[in-house]
Amino acid sequence: MKFTPLNPQAIETPFTLTANKLMTMCRRAFGESVRIVDAREVVGGTFNETWLVTLPERQVILRIAPPAALAQNWDDKWLMRRENQVKPYFAAVALYMPQTLLADFTHQILHRDYLFQTFMPGERWDSVADQFTRKQSLGLWKQFGALTRQVHDTSGTLFGGPFPARSFVTWSLAILYRLESVAQSMTNAEIDTAAFQTVIDLARAHTELLDEYRSPRLLHGDLWLFNILVDSRALKPTITAILDADRCWWGDPMADWTMFVLSKTVAPEMQSFVDAFWGAYGKLEHDRAARFRNRVYQAMHTGAALVWADRQKDVKAVADGVRELQVIADTLPDL
C-alpha cells in the first residue's frame, strides 16, 4: 500500500492515522481480504481529515473527525455524529450525496470518529466556476436552487439538533440558544459583542415573531459552491454531488447558511445567477415577522463568521462584521 499523509507525524499518538490502523479500519469496513492499493490524504477540508482510498475494484472516501476535545467552537462538537444521525432525512437528494459504507464511533482502532463513504465524481464548483459560459452557469444556479428547495421541503419534529446537539420545541428557543452560543464564542475571542447583545435582547423581547415559524425543516448548514461537485466536462454542466452536511440542523429555511451567503452575493455580475437560484427555489415570505426573523438570522451568521475570521487573523473582516452588526442592531427595532 502507498500511504501518503499531507503532514507526516514523527510521533504516533492514539489520534494519529497510520498505515496499520488504516488497514485495520478497512478490514472492519470491507472484510479481512481487503487490499489497499493507495491511500492519499486530500487537500480542501477545513474541519475533517479526508483521505482518498483506492481499492482494487473502486475508490472510497475516508473522513476522520478531529478529536472531540479539540472542538474550538460550540457548533464544532460531534459534527460527524450529527450528520450520520440525520442522513436518512436527506432522502430527497440521496442520489447527490455520498452513501455511508461504515460509520465507526467506537474509538477502538482510532481515537477519533470516522466513516467510509462512496466516492462522488465531479470537481468542486468554486474551483471551476470561471470555466463556464453564462448560460452554463445559469443552468447550474437553477439546479442549485431546486436542490436546496428539495432539502428544505423535508419536515422534522423539533428545532435545532440533530442529536447529540440540543433540540427545542419552539423556534425562538432554538434561535436564542444559537445566538447566546455565538455571543459566548465572540466573547472568548475578545470581539465586541455590544451590538450583538442588542440583537439578542430584541429577539428575546419578540419571541412571538420568531415563533410564528412552526414547521422545522431540514437545513444543510453549509451548502455553497465549495461543498458542491459539478461535471465541468459536459456540454451542459450539471451538479453531481452535495457534500459535508455535518452542520445540518432543523429550522426555518431562511436561517440556512446558504440564504445568508446569497444575501451577501451583491456583485452586479452575480445578480442573474442569484435570480436563477430564487427562480428555481420559489417564493419567499415578506411580511413583518419574516423580515424581523431574517435580520436576526443575518446577525447570527455574521457573529459566527466573525469568530471564524478572528481564527484566520482577518482583522478587516472582523472590523467590517462588527460594523454590520451595529447596522442590524440599529434597524431591527423598525421592522
Q: What is the CATH number of the domain that holds 103?
A: 3.30.200.20
Q: Under a CB-based contact definition with an 8 Å cutoff, are residues 289 and 252 in contact?
A: no
pTM of the predicted protein model: 0.93
pLDDT of residue 71: 63
Residue scoring higher pLDDT (45 or 137): 137
Whether residues 70 and 128 fall in one domain? no
Identify the domain boundary among 103, 118, 133.
118
Q: 216 pLDDT band (50/70/90 cuts)? A: very high
* Lowest pLDDT segment from 9-23, 60-74, 110-124: 60-74
Q: Tell me if 254 sits within 8 A of 219, measured CB to CB.
A: no
* Alpha-carbon torsion angle 115, 15, 78, 318, nearest 10: -120
Q: What is the mean pLDDT of residues 131-160?
A: 97
Same domain, 114 and 127: no
Do 209 and 276 share a domain, yes or no?
yes
**Which pLDDT score is estimated for 68?**
80
The mean pLDDT value for 118-133 works out to: 96
pLDDT in the model for residue 175? 98
Tens-place pLDDT, residues 37-74? 999 999 876 789 999 999 999 999 999 999 887 766 88
CA distances from 333 to 18, 178, 298 (A): 56, 20, 15
Q: At what angle do helices 194-205 and 315-331 cross, to 10 degrees?
A: 30
153 and 106 within one domain: no
* Cell numbers linked to 187: 466573547
Residue 280 CA to its chain's centroid (Å): 21
% of the chain at pLDDT higher than 90: 89
Measured in residues, the chain has a length of: 335
User: CA-CA distance, 180 to 68, in Å (whole number)?
Assistant: 22
User: Residue 147: how many CB atoms within 10 A of its CB?
Assistant: 20
- Cβ contacts of 120 within 8 Å, gap of 6 or more: 61, 97, 98, 229, 240, 241, 243
Q: b vs e for 184-215, b when ≥16 Cβ sit within 10 Å of the residue's Cβ? A: ebbeebebbbebbbbbbebbeebeebbebbee
CATH classification at residue 273: 3.90.1200.10
Which stretch of DSSP H or E encloses residue 53?
strand 49-54
- Segment 70-79 mean pLDDT: 82
In this structure, the answer to whether residues 211 and 103 fall within a common structural domain is no
**For residue range 264-307, what is the model confidence (pLDDT) as tens digits?**
988 899 999 999 999 999 988 889 999 999 999 999 999 999 99
pLDDT value of position 174? 98
Mean pLDDT for 83-91 is 96
- Predicted pLDDT at 74: 86
Last residue of a domain, one of 61, 95, 118: 118
- What pLDDT shows up at residue 268? 92
Mean pLDDT, residues 156-167? 95
Q: Decide: 183 and 193 in contact? Cβ < 8 Å.
A: yes
- Number of domains composing the chain: 2
Cα separation, 299 vs 272, in Å, equals 26
105 and 205 in a single domain? The answer is no
Confidence of residue 116 (pLDDT cuts 50, 70, 90): very high
For residues 302 and 158, state if they share a domain: yes
Exposure of 216 in the CB half-sphere (CA atoms within 13 A): 20
Q: If you average pLDDT over every residue of the chain, what do you get?
A: 95
Q: How confident is the model at residue 7 (pLDDT cuts 50, 70, 90)?
A: confident
Residues 36 and 170 in one domain: no
Q: Which of 304, 332, 298, 297 is nearest to 318 (CA)?
A: 304
Domain of 171, in residue numbers: 123-334
Buried b (16+ CB within 10 A) or exposed e, 4-39: eeeeeeeeeeeeebeeeebbebbebbbeeeeebeeb
Beta strands 159-160 and 167-168 are antiparallel
Looking at per-residue confidence, does 10 or 196 come out higher?
Answer: 196
The whole-number pLDDT of residue 334 equals 79
